[in-house]
Amino acid sequence: MVQAVKSIAKKNRTAEDSVVSHPVCDEFLGQLVGERFLVVRKIGRGGMGTVYLAHHQYLTDGPRYAVKIMRRENAKGEQNPLLQRFEREAKLLGHLHHSHIVRYYAHGEDRIFSPTRRTTIEFLYLVMEYIVGPSGFESEAVTLGDLVMRGPLGLRHIRRIMRTLTEALSEVHRQGIVHRDIKSSNILINKDGEAVLADFGISKPLGTDWSTLTKSGMVVMSCNYASPEQLLPNLPIDARTDIYPMGILLLEMLTGRLMLRPRDHNFAHTISKDRLPSHVRPDVGPSMDAVILRALHHDSSQRFQSMKRLYQAVVIALFIGRVERHLTAMIIFLLLSVSGLTIWLVIR
C-alpha cells in the first residue's frame, strides 16, 4: 500500500480533489465507496490492490483518505491468500490505536456498476488515514526510503524516527501481533518528521502456526529485511523477529544507503567493516555499530528483547558518541594550544 501512496501527485492540488473527471478511464473515479467515501483520483497500485485518494462525499474540504480497493475477481474463493491477507490487515488495523500507526476508518465489501464494461464490479475496500509528509518532496506521501535516498539522516531526526517507530511497534507487540514486514517503504513520514507504521498485510498474531504459511505469503515478504527465522524452517517467530529489520533501518538511516547486502549461511546479513556507521560518518562511534550488530544477530535470543530496549540502546549510543566527539575536540584543542604555546616560547 505504501509503495502505491508514494506515487501520488505533487502538492497543492487540493482544488483538484473535488473534481471527479479524469482523462484515464477508471471505473472507481467519482464513485462512492462504503456509501460515503468519494473517490477522487488513483494514487497507484499496491501489493493487494489499487489505492485511491478520497474524501467524504459532503466534505470536499475535509479530511482525505487512502482507500485500498481489491476487486473480487482477483481474489476468488474464501480461502484465497490475497483475500485472507486483505481481511487480516483490516481487522488488525481496526484493533490498533496509536498515533504512529496508520489510522483505520472502515472496511467492507461493495459494488459499483461499470458503464464501460456494462457489468457490476464487486470489491473489498479498506479506508485508512492519508499521511501528508514533510515539504520539499515531489510527492505528498513520503516514506522512510525516500529520506534515505537523499543521504544520511541527522542524528536528532534518527532519534525521533526510532522513538516513534519503536513506540508504535511496542503497541503492536503488546497487542500480541508480529508485523513481519518492516521495511523503509512501509514506514510513512508525517509532516513533523515522525514515523507512521503501515502495511499489516502479512502481520499475524503471536502463537500462530507458522508452518501453515503459504508460498504466496513468502513471496509478498521483503527478503531484504526479513530475519533469518523468517527464511529458515522450524525457527520460532516472535516479537524479536521485528527487531532484526529495525537494525537494517537504523543502518540505512545512518549511512544513507539502502540495504542490499548478501547473507551468510544463517541467512543473516553480512556487513563489511567499511559499511558500519562509525566508518562512514564522523559523528557516530563504535557503540552504535554494536547496537546494529546486536539487532542483526542471526540468533533472536541474542538480539534486543524488546523495542524499548532497542531504543534505549540507540539513545545511549548517541550519547556516548556525543561525549566521544566532545572529548576528541577537547584533546585536539589542548594539543593545539600546547603546540601554539611551545612555538610562541621558542620564537620569543
Query: pLDDT tens digits, residue range 223-237?
Result: 889 999 998 888 889
- Give, as one character, the DSSP assignment of residue 77: S
Which has more pLDDT, 200 or 74? Answer: 200
pLDDT in tens, 261-271: 667 766 778 78
Assigned fold of 147-324 = Transferase(Phosphotransferase); domain 1 (1.10.510)
Domain ranges of the chain: 2-129, 147-324
Cα distance between residue 308 and residue 243, in whole Å: 10
Kindly tell me if the per-residue pLDDT of 182 is higher than 80: yes
Q: Count how many residues are written for the chain.
A: 348
Q: What is the mean pLDDT of residues 132-146?
A: 87
Which has more pLDDT, 42 or 211? Answer: 42
Cα distance between residue 283 and residue 281, in whole Å: 6
Question: To which residue does cell 511496542 refer?
Answer: 170
Q: Of these residues, 61, 110, 146, 181, which one is catalytic?
A: 181
* 110 a catalytic residue: no
Which has more pLDDT, 225 or 322? Answer: 225
Best mean pLDDT range from 114-118, 295-299, 321-325: 295-299
Kindly tell me if the per-residue pLDDT of 208 is higher than 70: no
Sorted by sequence, the CB contacts under 8 Å of residue 37 that are 6+ apart come out as: 54, 55, 56, 57, 65, 67, 106, 125, 127
Distance of CA 53 to the CA centre of its chain: 20
Q: How confident is the model at residue 341 (pLDDT cuts 50, 70, 90)?
A: low
Instruction: Return phi, psi of residue 139, to 5°.
Output: -105, 155
Q: Which CATH class is domain 2-129?
A: alpha beta
Q: What is the pLDDT of residue 141?
A: 81
Question: To which residue does cell 502481520 refer?
Answer: 203
Q: What is the pLDDT of residue 11?
A: 41
